[in-house]
């Protein structure tokens, strides 16, 4: 099976182009992107609130022998879900593809090192627009053109 992120092709290509083998990635929202990223960087730290989904992706990683993924599981009511990023300031890329994305972004921007990138998935949604008020340089990816998530795009924000 081909484990590809549930992102537009443009988003996948852009992230692949910017990743370096020695990069550390922090990701809110465990999924097939976690597996995909693990093949392309040194380490993936992933935060998930759903134990069944985390266990499903962890089983795939174990079956594939991927040992460069650090899985975290926290409920959405836990402060740790949002603040664990502060313990991972070496991450050059921070992906926000989980729940409560604006709150995650607020913590990500404080933890992201200079020269880092924050990717906000589904950035076309109205409820996420306030993250653009911080004035970071940004580059939007082309949205999906078909399927259930037609119109889905991501924004890369450069810190």
Q: Give the domain CATH number at 67.
A: 3.40.50.150
2 confidence band (pLDDT: 50, 70, 90):
confident
Does residue 35 lie in a domain region? yes
64 is a domain residue: yes
Q: Rounded to whole angstroms, what are the CA distances from 24 to 41, 97, 104, 122, 126?
A: 6, 16, 18, 22, 29
Q: What is the mean pLDDT of residues 116-144?
A: 91
Q: Is residue 7 part of a domain?
A: no
- pLDDT bin (cut points 50, 70, 90) of residue 152 is confident
Q: Residue 11 domain-assigned? A: no
In the predicted structure, residue 52 carries a pLDDT above the cut 70: yes
pLDDT digits (tens, 9 = 90+) for 56-102: 999 999 999 999 999 999 999 999 999 999 999 999 999 999 999 99
Domain that holds residue 27: 22-158
pLDDT band at 153 (very low <50, low <70, confident <90, very high): confident
Tokens of 74: 């926290």
Specify if 9 maps to a domain. no
Across all residues in the chain, what is the average pLDDT? 93
Is residue 15, in this structure, part of any structural domain at all?
no
Number of domains into which the chain is organized = 1
pLDDT of residue 143: 75
Q: pTM for the whole thing? A: 0.93
In angstroms, the CA 54 to CA 135 distance is 33
Kindly state whether residue 2 falls inside one of the protein's structural domains. no
- Neighbouring C-beta atoms of residue 84, cutoff 10 Å: 19
Beta strands in the chain (DSSP E): 24-28, 43-48, 69-73, 93-96, 117-121, 137-140, 154-158
């Amino acid at each position: 099976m081909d484990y590809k992120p549930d992102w537009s092709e443009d988003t996948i290509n852009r992230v692949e182009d910017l990743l370096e083998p020695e990069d550390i990635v922090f990701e809110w929202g465990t999924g097939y992107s976690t597996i995909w990223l693990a093949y392309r960087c040194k380490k993936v730290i992933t935060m998930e609130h759903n134990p069944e989904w985390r266990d499903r992706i962890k089983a795939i990683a174990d079956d594939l022998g991927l040992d460069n993924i650090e899985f975290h599981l926290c409920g959405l009511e836990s402060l740790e879900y949002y603040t664990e990023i502060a313990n991972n300031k070496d991450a050059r890329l921070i992906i926000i593809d989980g729940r409560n994305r604006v709150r995650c972004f607020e913590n990500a921007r404080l933890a992201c090192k200079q020269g880092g990138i924050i990717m906000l998935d589904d950035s076309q949604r109205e409820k996420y627009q306030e993250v653009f008020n911080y004035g970071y340089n940004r580059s939007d990816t082309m949205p999906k053109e078909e399927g259930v998530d037609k119109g889905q795009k991501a924004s890369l924000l450069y810190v």
